[in-house]
A and B are shown apart, each in its own frame.
Chain A
Amino acid sequence: MQSLHRLRTYTLVASVATAVSAGFLGTSAMAEDLRIGTQLKLMTLDPHYADLNENNSLLSHIYERLVIQDRQLNPQPGLAISWKRLSETQWEFKLRDGVRFHDGSPFTAQDVIYSIERIRDFLKPPSGGFQTYTQAIKSVTAPDPMTVVIETSSDVPTLPLSMTSIFIMGHKSGDFATTQDVNSGKQSVGTGPYKFQSWQSGEVLSLMRNDAYWGSAPAWSEVAFQVIESPAARVAALTTGDVDLADYIPSRDVEGLERRGLAIESTSAARSNFLQFDIAREKPPGITDKAGNAVKNPFRDERVRQALTMATDRPFLAEKILLGYGTPAAQLFPTGLSGTSPNLTVAPPDYGGAKALLTEAGFPDGFKVVLAGPAGRYPGDSESLQSIAQNWARIGVSAQPVVAPFSVFATQRSDGAYPVWYGGCSGEAVTFCLRAVLGSPDAKSGAGSLNYGKYQNQTFDAMLEKAMSMEDGPDRSAAIAGATELAMADYPMLPLYHFHLIVGHGQKVGSYAVHPRGWTTAMQAVPSEE
């Protein structure tokens, strides 16, 4: 008994000792490893499960798509080297030769078929997600191992764009892999520049270089993504050198990081954040006069919306709340991008004019209103609301900022609990946001999916529809801008700012190209030459 006990103690000590030495080995840093602190929480290893930035960004190390989107958001060859339209409903993709999966098996048309069918027929994820891209696909066939023909049930001119969202997974004989299987990590086999090593949910994703990668050799031998959701903690980790690179840096921390010798890169994001008004209802909740009596919905009056726009100090939001890492917004994408209008500009606040308009609209004493928004979902969200409340107080509108965790806010918003609220939109093109935010809500076509205020303008709908059917080029761009100008003249919503995506990195990284879609990958980081 005694000896058994001693034996057990010995084993324990021995295992601790090996563990300790293993630990020390683990901390000795290798020259080519990259540690990234990211806000993006990888939720699942299944690349077909949920279409979220978080997943797509991190899983794009392991898996690749047929078509990729460059920084200007144009389609470029990925696993497909070329594609062409055979007929109205048929597309042919020529596949790249000599590509191998991480397990050594070659990439063929069967894998494409497998991946598309897995999304379309097999997976039933709660988020729906990727099925949007496959629902129009009638069949996928392989005339030869290196060619795929996709047949759609209707005319889908944007099919190559849909393919920029679908990751190709190595096919297996037999059944489709379940999400559980994929989550276990055993089947995380793609063609990407990095191989899957390990994943601890919500904490660390470890990757290693794919030496057999078909493209230019990946720069880093090992990549570890550490999920650090709190911005302050991410900044701290970068400061202390725990990570070599950190994304979504709050603008308030930029100065301190630069002082400590860290490099900052940023780019304007293809998106906007804005206030939306309830324009439909006669008496939405949350609006009263100063004495607390119910009033008719002031936001139905265009002059009130204009007055509030005039009284909102957008330059302040960009310069003081976002500390310069944001651009005041007058439309849905930053001015200058395709489809934006140069005529829409942000004026400094005009409180006198706003007050006069408000009086004209029949609200000389202003009103009280609940100004709702999510807390910490977007840079500067809760601070902006408080700052806007300060602005509006100058023209007699007393706004009460109410912030909540995002899901709580979103539930309340779709339940119609708010009269005016903070929202955001991003997408692969400005037309997506125009249609979602300003288009008349239509459940069937999916238009107006973010138009919670129920703004309706048939002329705008028609103009946008027409513009979107045009061939890509300056004419199309001008037509989209024209539609935007028409809608914005109604003040249907109040664009606030386009925030910038900020990434900080240490000495190890020479340069980093921030992607306007907000992806963080090791491929964007170039090692410094020492």
Chain B
Amino acid sequence: MVTTIVGRLSQAALLLLVMSVIGFVGIHSVGNPVYNIVNIETATAADIRNATIALGLDQPLWRQYLLFMGNVVTGNFGTSYIYHLPAFDLVMSKLPATLELASMAMLIAAPCGTLLGLLAGRRQGCAIDRAILKASVFALSIPSFWLSMVLILVGAITLGWFPSGGRGPTVSLVGQEWSFLTLEGLRRLTLPALALAIPNIALIARLARAGTIEVESQDFVRFCRAKGLSARRILFRHTLPNISIPIVTIVGMQFGGMLAFAVVVETIFAWPGIGKLLIDSIQLLDRPVVMATLTFVSLAFVGLNALVDLLYAVLDPRVRLST
């Protein structure tokens, strides 16, 4: 157990190190962020040179990197070139928006997907099963940016039921600003959450279907049936708990993925979350923020995967026994 934890930690550290080098060099090679900071239409060459020096960008790249890493070790990712705020705080301030979006999407996706999967699995081979399977392939095939646009076209422009973008008014809770606590906030959350949820419904449904088929063919279910238990009771009391492990796994993994994949959805819906911050910062070459965001998302992703493994052990007594 200890060795796996150590292994994981060292792997995560290596991952972050490699990524920081690539990200650092990558952003550096793209261009000089100074052009976003000075007023380019009025700045003189001297202004630009001074700004470059002030940001330390005149130094050789390796020295910049060492300086950066030195600061990171003390938990300081530097100050955003654009917003003049500590980069990591900036990322954290965007976290609630992304978190509530991803949670809402999962709250839609997990129950819907599981139910559809159970339904399909129970009626394996029937019309409804085939329809769900087919629909799931379609849902997994829609490019997320196009799905978002279609949702805007239908839900916001044609029907006018939902706003087409932006986050609603926020309310402070546990020291963070959340928008899901207001009606308006929920209304705005709907379309982007749907855009993130739809492919995940399909994914979870397919998994739940496969699990249901496997479980239902096992002896204990036959035994239950012979005992005369109702189909519903078998489904919810026996089948469901037994297929929950792969579902929890996929929910956890997809949740991590959403933090990153929200890039596209957040961009289209003008949702001020981490994904949008990342894309904006890449465009603006705001290196401290890019590095802080990348580090945070990777850490979250790795951490969530570890958490999933842990949950796995809790949910499945066999795993616990074997370790």
Interface set of A (CB-CB < 8 Å, partner B): 15-16, 19-20, 22-24, 26-27, 41, 43-44, 46, 49-53, 124-129, 132, 179, 183, 200-203, 226, 228-230, 233, 236-237, 239-240, 242, 404-412, 414, 424-427, 432, 436, 443, 446, 449-450
Alpha-carbon distance between A16 and B54 when the two chains are bound, in angstroms = 45
Structural contact, B171 and A22, CB atoms closer than 8 A: yes
Kindly provide the distance from the CB of B185 to the nearest chain A CB, expressed in whole angstroms. 7
Kindly provide the distance from the CB of A336 to the nearest chain B CB, expressed in whole angstroms. 21
Q: Which residues B1-57 have CB closer than 8 A to chain A?
A: 30-48, 50-51, 54-55
List, in ascending order, chain A residues with CB within 8 A of B169's CB.
23, 26-27
A-B pairs with lowest CB-CB distance, top 8: A23-B182, A411-B31, A126-B54, A410-B35, A233-B270, A236-B164, A408-B31, A19-B171
Alpha-carbon distance between A412 and B173 when the two chains are bound, in angstroms = 46
Q: 10 A–B contact pairs at CB < 8 A? A: A23-B185, A27-B183, A127-B39, A127-B43, A128-B38, A128-B50, A183-B84, A226-B166, A436-B42, A449-B45
Q: Given A414-B48, A450-B41, 11 more contacts at CB 8 Å?
A: A15-B174, A16-B173, A19-B171, A46-B84, A53-B39, A201-B93, A202-B277, A240-B163, A406-B40, A411-B30, A424-B41
> Which of A127, A200, A427 is the most central at the interface, judged by chain B CB atoms within 10 Å of its CB?
A127
Alpha-carbon distance between A202 and B80 when the two chains are bound, in angstroms = 12
List, in ascending order, chain A residues with CB within 8 A of B173's CB.
15-16, 19
The answer to the question of B216 belonging to the interface, with a C-beta cut-off of 8 Å to chain A, is no
List, in ascending order, chain A residues with CB within 8 A of B167's CB.
203
One of A126, A200, A449 near B177 (C-beta < 8 A): A200
Known: A24-B182, A407-B33. A236 touches B156 (CB 8 A): yes
The answer to the question of B181 belonging to the interface, with a C-beta cut-off of 8 Å to chain A, is yes
Known: A27-B183, A183-B84. A126 touches B283 (CB 8 A): no
Q: Which residue of B lies closest to A27 (CB)?
A: B184
The answer to the question of B303 belonging to the interface, with a C-beta cut-off of 8 Å to chain A, is no
One of A16, A201, A410, A432 near B90 (C-beta < 8 A): A201
Structural contact, A43 and B83, CB atoms closer than 8 A: yes
Alpha-carbon distance between A310 and B93 when the two chains are bound, in angstroms = 52
Interface set of B (CB-CB < 8 Å, partner A): 30-48, 50-51, 54-55, 81-85, 90, 93, 152, 156, 160, 163-167, 169, 171-174, 177-178, 181-185, 267, 269-270, 272, 277, 280, 283-285
Q: Which residue of A lies closest to B52 (CB)?
A: A126
Kindly provide the distance from the CB of A51 to the nearest chain B CB, expressed in whole angstroms. 6
Structural contact, B41 and A427, CB atoms closer than 8 A: yes
List, in ascending order, chain A residues with CB within 8 A of B277's CB.
202
Q: Which residue of B lies closest to A45 (CB)?
A: B84
Alpha-carbon distance between A464 and B84 when the two chains are bound, in angstroms = 39
Kindly provide the distance from the CB of B180 to the nearest chain A CB, expressed in whole angstroms. 10
Task: Tell me the dominant secondary structure on chain A's binding face.
Answer: mixed
List, in ascending order, chain B residues with CB within 8 A of A52's CB.
39
Structural contact, B83 and A228, CB atoms closer than 8 A: no
Kindly provide the distance from the CB of B38 to the nearest chain A CB, expressed in whole angstroms. 5
List, in ascending order, chain A residues with CB within 8 A of B182's CB.
20, 23-24, 26-27
List, in ascending order, chain A residues with CB within 8 A of B181's CB.
16, 19-20, 23
Alpha-carbon distance between A132 and B51 when the two chains are bound, in angstroms = 13
Q: Which residue of B lies closest to A227 (CB)?
A: B272
> Which of B36, B42, B81, B178 is the most central at the interface, judged by chain A CB atoms within 10 Å of its CB?
B42
Structural contact, B164 and A240, CB atoms closer than 8 A: yes
Structural contact, A201 and B31, CB atoms closer than 8 A: no
List, in ascending order, chain B residues with CB within 8 A of A15's CB.
173-174
List, in ascending order, chain B residues with CB within 8 A of A408's CB.
30-31, 285
One of A24, A237, A436 near B165 (C-beta < 8 A): A237
Alpha-carbon distance between A53 and B43 when the two chains are bound, in angstroms = 13
Q: Which residue of A lies closest to B80 (CB)?
A: A201
Structural contact, A201 and B83, CB atoms closer than 8 A: yes
List, in ascending order, chain B residues with CB within 8 A of A236's CB.
152, 156, 163-165
List, in ascending order, chain B residues with CB within 8 A of A237's CB.
163-166
Structural contact, A407 and B272, CB atoms closer than 8 A: no
Known: A22-B171, A24-B183, A407-B285. A449 touches B39 (CB 8 A): no
List, in ascending order, chain A residues with CB within 8 A of B165's CB.
228, 230, 233, 236-237
Alpha-carbon distance between A411 and B183 when the two chains are bound, in angstroms = 45
Alpha-carbon distance between A313 and B305 when the two chains are bound, in angstroms = 57
Q: Which residue of B lies closest to A26 (CB)?
A: B169
Q: Which residue of B lies closest to A427 (CB)?
A: B42
Structural contact, B85 and A127, CB atoms closer than 8 A: no
Structural contact, B41 and A426, CB atoms closer than 8 A: yes
Structural contact, B83 and A202, CB atoms closer than 8 A: yes
Kindly provide the distance from the CB of B175 to the nearest chain A CB, expressed in whole angstroms. 11
Alpha-carbon distance between A370 and B157 when the two chains are bound, in angstroms = 39
List, in ascending order, chain A residues with CB within 8 A of B34's CB.
126, 407
Structural contact, A240 and B177, CB atoms closer than 8 A: no
Kindly provide the distance from the CB of B47 to the nearest chain A CB, expressed in whole angstroms. 5
Q: Which residue of B lies closest to A428 (CB)?
A: B42
Structural contact, B35 and A446, CB atoms closer than 8 A: no
Known: A43-B84, A126-B51. A23 touches B183 (CB 8 A): yes
Alpha-carbon distance between A436 and B181 when the two chains are bound, in angstroms = 52
Q: Which residue of B lies closest to A201 (CB)?
A: B83
List, in ascending order, chain B residues with CB within 8 A of A425's CB.
41
List, in ascending order, chain A residues with CB within 8 A of B31's CB.
404-405, 407-412
Kindly provide the distance from the CB of A46 to the nearest chain B CB, expressed in whole angstroms. 8
Structural contact, B36 and A407, CB atoms closer than 8 A: yes
Known: A23-B183, A236-B165, A407-B36. A127 touches B270 (CB 8 A): no
Structural contact, B85 and A201, CB atoms closer than 8 A: yes
Q: Which residue of A lies closest to B47 (CB)?
A: A128
List, in ascending order, chain B residues with CB within 8 A of A203's CB.
167, 272
List, in ascending order, chain A residues with CB within 8 A of B267's CB.
230
Q: Which residue of A lies closest to B38 (CB)?
A: A127
Structural contact, B38 and A443, CB atoms closer than 8 A: no
Q: Which residue of A lies closest to B32 (CB)?
A: A411
Structural contact, A44 and B163, CB atoms closer than 8 A: no
Alpha-carbon distance between A496 and B85 when the two chains are bound, in angstroms = 38
Alpha-carbon distance between A188 and B257 when the two chains are bound, in angstroms = 40
List, in ascending order, chain B residues with CB within 8 A of A202's CB.
83, 272, 277
List, in ascending order, chain A residues with CB within 8 A of B178's CB.
19
Q: Which residue of A lies closest to B97 (CB)?
A: A203
Q: Which residue of B lies closest to A226 (CB)?
A: B166
Structural contact, A26 and B171, CB atoms closer than 8 A: yes
List, in ascending order, chain A residues with CB within 8 A of B84's CB.
43-44, 46, 49, 179, 183
List, in ascending order, chain B residues with CB within 8 A of A450's CB.
41
Alpha-carbon distance between A209 and B178 when the two chains are bound, in angstroms = 26
One of B39, B54, B85, B269 near A125 (C-beta < 8 A): B54
Structural contact, B47 and A240, CB atoms closer than 8 A: no
List, in ascending order, chain B residues with CB within 8 A of A53's CB.
39
Q: Which residue of B lies closest to A243 (CB)?
A: B166
Structural contact, A51 and B163, CB atoms closer than 8 A: no
Structural contact, B32 and A44, CB atoms closer than 8 A: no
Q: Which residue of A lies closest to B184 (CB)?
A: A27
Q: Which residue of B lies closest to A424 (CB)?
A: B41
Kindly provide the distance from the CB of B275 to the nearest chain A CB, expressed in whole angstroms. 14
Kindly provide the distance from the CB of A36 to the nearest chain B CB, expressed in whole angstroms. 13
